Copies of this chain bind each other. A is one copy, B any other.
């Protein structure tokens, strides 16, 4: 099935769900029920929550409706008729009021009829295998001040194999869920009671972040970038000048007024780098200028869309801005793509999907510049041998861009890297450089991020690795487990040899060795060193690998050599 067919299939599945609910609970009022990225849902209004037994009944009724193989018909009715048909469905009536046309469409299957634009598949029998996945609370029209609805999620496929495969994928994804692994491995926490969508990095998660940031800074400095630091707030007028108060306002936090000045939490770093650029007159000799910042930005997202580390309100972009001439775009983009390949490869991502988005209908700048920049982006992709698709008209209004999605081990796609040419900001801030002849020219500005957001990237990493971070990234690389208290001094001696080279802890607790091993396994420490009488006497430790078990008995020096590789 292609995406369009799948959408129809799941949309009809949603109607079957609503049909089944109405058969079992005729008093329930219908909300809406679309196909979504994976499956479908339907929102219902009912005083009492659906119990597992209710869901069982609904599921049975769905099976019947499928077995009946009811044809799905499209009906055109006048608005007057529609009002009559929906007289007991207040939510549907509300939707109806919003429709301007005189004739509306319904879809009917047996005794069930629903105000709906479609499209649908032709009969209920085509839906072969389905499963109700979960229920959740939602608000009518997403508005916290409106009625609370009950949303039922489901999935369906034409074959049993597809359904089983998907359910297995769900189970695997659940085991990898960073929202479960994060607290379990003591990596991070959220404290929604003191503000949703804000991440607190615990020592182990922070250590991973530090390792990532250190490499990031190091590699950038070696590749001709310079690092800058800028504030998290600025006068609102900066955002007026940059245009963000116009086209980005709904993502910005409320401004803070102090002594008649108005401060704004930053949703982006760019205007700050621009101000640094404008502190002196630059020459063509200075270009390209590449300024990188691990800049923490704050964007207001609605409560309902927040999701662990993946969708947050405060996050750190691995941001950079390149100021260059038109002729330098291609070479600069090639260099960025090489950095992308290096960094994503370092974290075990080798498969990407790349999109080059071109000029949309509404745009700023002149078409010639757009064309040249778009060609430069395309050439850069070709020269680095990267396969890409063109997303026609999907560029931002200020310039063409390259988006790179990575695939994780469950084949899920994550948008990370982005490279965007900007014709807007250089004009708005009157950026200039002097060319060879001493004339003033406007530089090209390229925004780029490789990991995207450190928070989001960390979420993807946790799920990709299932919390089993590779040795170089593990916050605790080795745990030394003395079998009893009398082995602690020798454990410390061993630790002294290894500590300068590895991140290591000693488990000094007064616990049985099996418990210590179990805990280290649970906490996904890559290597354990077990130390008892035998080891102490021979000056060795027993090396155990996470999930794989005993490797052998080695001296500290041998262990150092083995693990250094």
Contact = CB atoms under 8 A, between A and B. Distances in A.
Interface in A272-331: 272, 275-276, 279-280, 285, 291, 296, 298, 300, 302-303, 314
- Summarize A's interface: helix, strand, loop or mixed: mixed
Interface string A221-254: 0000011111111110110000000000000011
Contact of A300 (B230, B258, B285): B258
A226 B206 contact: yes
A454 to B, nearest CB: 9
Given A256-B254, A256-B255, A275 B195 contact: no
A207 interface: yes
Contacts of A254: 256-258, 263
Interface stretch (A186-194, A414-422, A524-532): A186-194
Contact of A206 (B144, B186, B227, B234): B227
Copies of this polypeptide in the complex: 2
A195 B280 CA distance: 19
Contact of A233 (B227, B230, B314): B314
A229 B233 CA distance: 19
Nearest to A226: B203
B194 A234 contact: yes
Interface string A187-223: 0010101111011111100110110001001000000
A261 B232 CA distance: 20
A265 B194 contact: no
B200 A235 contact: no
B201 A229 contact: yes
Contact of A275 (B194, B206, B209, B226): B194
Interface in A40-57: none
A183 interface: yes
B199 A231 contact: yes
A275 B191 contact: yes
A259 interface: yes
Contact of A189 (B258, B279, B314): B279
B291 A233 contact: no
A303 B261 CA distance: 11
A206 B235 contact: no
Contacts of A203: 226-228, 291
A60 interface: no
Contacts of A263: 195, 253-254
A335 interface: no
Given A203-B226, A258-B253, A233 B276 contact: no
A293 to B, nearest CB: 8
A231 B314 contact: yes
Contacts of A237: 193-194
Nearest to A227: B206
Interface in A93-149: 144
A509 interface: yes
Contacts of A279: 183, 186, 189, 202
Contacts of A253: 233, 256, 258, 263
Contact of A232 (B206, B232, B275): B232
A296 to B, nearest CB: 7
30 contacts: A144-B259, A183-B279, A186-B279, A186-B280, A189-B275, A189-B276, A191-B275, A193-B235, A194-B234, A194-B235, A194-B237, A195-B233, A195-B234, A195-B238, A196-B261, A200-B228, A200-B230, A200-B272, A202-B279, A206-B228, A231-B314, A232-B265, A232-B298, A233-B253, A233-B298, A233-B314, A253-B256, A253-B258, A254-B263, A259-B303
Interface of A: 144, 183, 186, 189, 191, 193-196, 198-203, 206-207, 209-210, 214, 217, 226-235, 237-238, 253-259, 261, 263, 265, 272, 275-276, 279-280, 285, 291, 296, 298, 300, 302-303, 314, 508-509
